[in-house]
Amino acid sequence: MIYLRQNFSQPFLYSLFCNNILRKIANNKNNKGDSMKKKFVFYIMLLVVAFSTIFVPTQKGYASSLDDLSAKAVFLMDYNTQTILYEKNATERMPVASIVKLMTIELICEEIEKGNLSLDDTIIASENASSMGGSQVFIETGGEYSVGDMLKSAIVSSANDASVALAEKVAGSEDNFVVLMNNKAKEFGLENTNYVNATGLPATNQFSCAKDTAKLLKHVTSHDAYHKYSTIWMDTLLHPKGRESELVNTNKLIRYYEGCDGGKTGSTNEAGYCLSATAKRGNMRLIGVVLGAENSKKRFAETSQLLNYGFANFENKKVVDSNKTQEIEIKGCKQKTLTIHPESDLYIICNKKDKENNFSIETKLKEHITAPITIGDSLGEILVVQNGQVISSTKIISKDNIEKASFIDYLSYVLNDWCIK
């Protein structure tokens, strides 16, 4: 983003930039089959996206207060501990427009990780998918596309047609996919969320809230398949007939906000301008959500203000290191000791001004640990308690494979003990 502000600050240079983009598209010989309406809408979308990048506020200093945020709902959360750092109307149900696609993306990423879907798998675009309005990449009915290209289009350009194509690939129909979306919302504990479609296009009884959006983005951010595309600024989608569609990331923060590597925009008349974004600096990752902002400029500015506030006033401290091992004594096994370690790192979030951080670490091992034991077996848990509440936990797992002791092993133990005495 800094690059754009420096190089396109003059109207003439900005006009030249836009014209170059449009000329590239216009010169594509395979565009002749497109309808004039689609071409007009697509060109206008490109102009709006390019124009909006110039007027996104830069990062100047840090916010000490968030009282002046004007969005209808606001939420700021620490990623590692899910500690709420700031909230306003965080559980109020409201339309969130294309932020709905976060759940679509989540389900697709899960299918990929389960091995049920591959980025190279083919999707044949249905007439239903290709007819989607709003944000789109104009996929061709009957055209063959890869799952990867459709996922990229949904993540980068918030494409409704690509999102429906993905939904139909996984569940057979968008309606079936919506059932999966709502089931996953219940599993994640999204208490103020209900889905009606896979895109976020206006629909009766479709809603979410700022808190649920942050919790959902935390899950989405954990997937490698998501991060494969989430930081792409500009790219192209090649259609089966040779036509190209330009992809421009709707989340401007990935371009100019330090550490931002994901998020989702959304805007409709009923939802206003919405944004969920995540940024990481050092070992601290934050998630900020702004719903119902007055305009696009404000959603980016106020989300930046949220993140600035978090990074300026709070810090993460690692209190449990997953690489730290410990040996414990065990009985009835071929070995007398077992090496254990935490499954994952644990952190606390604390205000930089606080001199004391009231937290404790509780270790709970199983009372009876018996063989056989394999690497990765859960043998207990570690809890981090802050201000009387459990803020995070992780399993204690085995680092060794341990076999059950045989009669010969027991006899050997007795003889060794006898010899020593």
pTM of the model: 0.79
> Is 98 marked active-site?
yes
In the prediction, which pLDDT does 354 show?
Answer: 82
Q: What percent of the chain has pLDDT over 70?
A: 80
Q: How far, in Å, CA of 340 to CA of 291, rounded? A: 44
Instruction: Name the domain boundary from 267, 291, 315.
Output: 315
Question: 212 and 72 share a domain?
Answer: yes
Q: What pLDDT band is residue 412 in, cutting at 50, 70 and 90?
A: low
Range of the domain at 184: 59-315
Residues 44 and 124 in one domain: no
Q: How many domains does the chain have?
A: 3
Give me the catalytic one of 126, 158, 208, 245. Answer: 158
The reply to whether 242 and 294 lie within a common domain is: yes
CA distances from 77 to 84, 311, 330 (A): 5, 11, 41
- Do 307 and 333 reside in the same domain of the chain? no
Annotation marks residue 158 as catalytic: yes
Residue 101 annotated among the catalytic residues of the structure: yes
| 416 pLDDT tier (thresholds 50, 70, 90) | low
Residue 389's CATH number:
2.60.410.10
For residues 74 and 35, state if they share a domain: no
Residues 114-154 have pLDDT tens digits of 999 999 999 999 999 999 989 999 999 999 999 999 999 99
Q: The domain that contains 308 carries what CATH number?
A: 3.40.710.10
Tell which of 278, 295, 315 closes a domain: 315
d(CA 26, CA 110): 38
Tell me which of 72, 98, 218, 296 is the catalytic residue: 98
pLDDT number for residue 35:
53
287 with 205, same domain: the answer is: yes
Q: How many angstroms separate the Cα of 336 from the Cα of each of 364, 404, 413, 419?
A: 20, 11, 10, 18
